Amino acid sequence: MSAAGQIPDSRFVFIVGVARTGSKIYMTVLNRLSEVDIVNELHYLAPRFIRRDFVTTVQRRPGTRLEASSPGALVNEMFSAPLNGTFWQPRSSGSLEQRITDLNRDTLVRRLSTGATKPARVMRVLLEEHARVAGKSRPADKFPVDISRVPTLLEWFPGASVIHLVRDPRAIYSSMIARDVRVCRGNWRQQAAARSGRLAYLVHQYRLAARVHRRNAANPAYYLSRFEDLIARPCESVPLLCDFLGIEVMADMYQPPGKDSSFRKDESTGFDVGAVDTWREYLDRPSRRLIETLLSREMAIFGYDTFTPRNPRNAIDGI
């Protein structure tokens, strides 16, 4: 860290991608066992039709426009306003996830007072301060921005390491609608509306993800990681991921707790290979074919076969 407290861009790590791509497992593997300090979901930048992001929310409030607000007012907003994203929420009992409450208000105000409170600098200060409090040297964030805003993120942090997560879009859609079924609780009209909305969202986001990959594939600071590869072949995937970040591989990285996964809530540890193709048991054929038709080009870019075998349990290697 420099005398001014600023960490070089090359030390930052960002995990980006479409929702439901296993980001929590990646965060668990890297966060507790390395020098990387991954903050959980700032939701810093996003289109308005996707979600309410930090920058837009703060800009709309009187007296806290980023470029014109006083550091004290801005920090008070961070700690007290109903902001969208796990990082801004009160810590639940027993949770180990990083929160804004880990940081010292006075320290934030002091650091923000030394320069302009532009969005890029505010984000930098938040991540740097959290890494400092955690005793780690590499600030990081899981899904800091919507996939459509990754170019802006790279403009703010040129040279940062970017881990782009992808997953079979059929599995993403299956995970999304399974969640909606629990929320809608048998209301078939709401479920039907949710399915249509989820499909439109998936197609839009997945196409953007393919665009991000095409633009950055040749960048040595960019790393594409498929969820299926990590889960089915961790002995290959974990060392490659660590090599990309220049960090040491540790044995515990192969035993992430199941309760820290959005897909498992049990007390077991390790990678659940069943999560790779569970979607094949639940996703109906029309939905499957529709996704394969709409996203055939993008699936090919990421190495996913649009043919669904009759015996899926024997098809992990032909994802």
* Reported confidence tier of residue 123, pLDDT bands at 50, 70, 90: very high
Q: Which of 51, 45, 35, 46 is nearest to 122 (CA)?
A: 45
* Reported confidence tier of residue 311, pLDDT bands at 50, 70, 90: very low
Residue 184 reports pLDDT greater than 50? yes
* Reported confidence tier of residue 316, pLDDT bands at 50, 70, 90: very low
Residue 130 reports pLDDT greater than 90? yes
For residue 217, how many C-alpha atoms fall within 13 Å in the half-sphere facing its CB?
A: 8
Torsion region of 69: left, alpha or beta (phi above 0 gives left; psi -120 to 50 gives alpha): beta
Percentage of the chain beyond pLDDT 70 is 83
Per-residue pLDDT tens over the stretch 228-277: 999 999 999 999 999 999 999 998 898 888 655 554 555 667 788 888 88
Quote the Cα angle for 22-27-221, to 5°.
95
Residue 115 reports pLDDT greater than 50? yes
pLDDT value at position 259?
Answer: 56
DSSP lists the bridge partners of residue 225 as 165
pLDDT value at position 174?
Answer: 92
pLDDT value at position 91?
Answer: 72
Q: Are 37 and 103 contacting, i.e. CB atoms less than 8 angstroms apart? A: no
- Listed in order, strand segments (DSSP E) in 46-147 are 138-142
Pairing of strands 13-17, 161-166: parallel
pLDDT value at position 312?
Answer: 46
Torsion region of 22: left, alpha or beta (phi above 0 gives left; psi -120 to 50 gives alpha): left
Residue 317 in tokens:
């290697």
Residue 286 in tokens:
């029309």
Q: Are 38 and 29 contacting, i.e. CB atoms less than 8 angstroms apart? A: no
Q: Are 46 and 195 contacting, i.e. CB atoms less than 8 angstroms apart? A: no
* Reported confidence tier of residue 6, pLDDT bands at 50, 70, 90: confident
Amino acid at 255: Q
> What would the mean pLDDT of 133-150 be, rounded to a whole number?
95
CA separation for the pair 91, 30 (Å, rounded): 21
Q: Which of 232, 256, 280, 32 is nearest to 291 (CA)?
A: 280
Among 15-29, 160-174, 182-196, 295-309, the least confident range = 182-196
CA separation for the pair 166, 90 (Å, rounded): 29
Looking up tokens 């591989």 gives 249
For residue 53, how many C-alpha atoms fall within 13 Å in the half-sphere facing its CB?
A: 19
Q: Are 254 and 270 contacting, i.e. CB atoms less than 8 angstroms apart? A: yes
Q: Give this prediction's pTM.
A: 0.88
pLDDT value at position 64?
Answer: 56
* Reported confidence tier of residue 287, pLDDT bands at 50, 70, 90: very high
First to last CA, the chain: 43
Q: Helix/strand/coil (H, E, C) string of 266-308?
A: CCCECCCHHHHCCHHHHCCHHHHHHHHHHCHHHHHHCCCCCCC
Looking up tokens 């054929």 gives 285
Residues near 286 by Cβ (< 8 Å), separated by ≥ 6?
none
pLDDT value at position 318?
Answer: 45
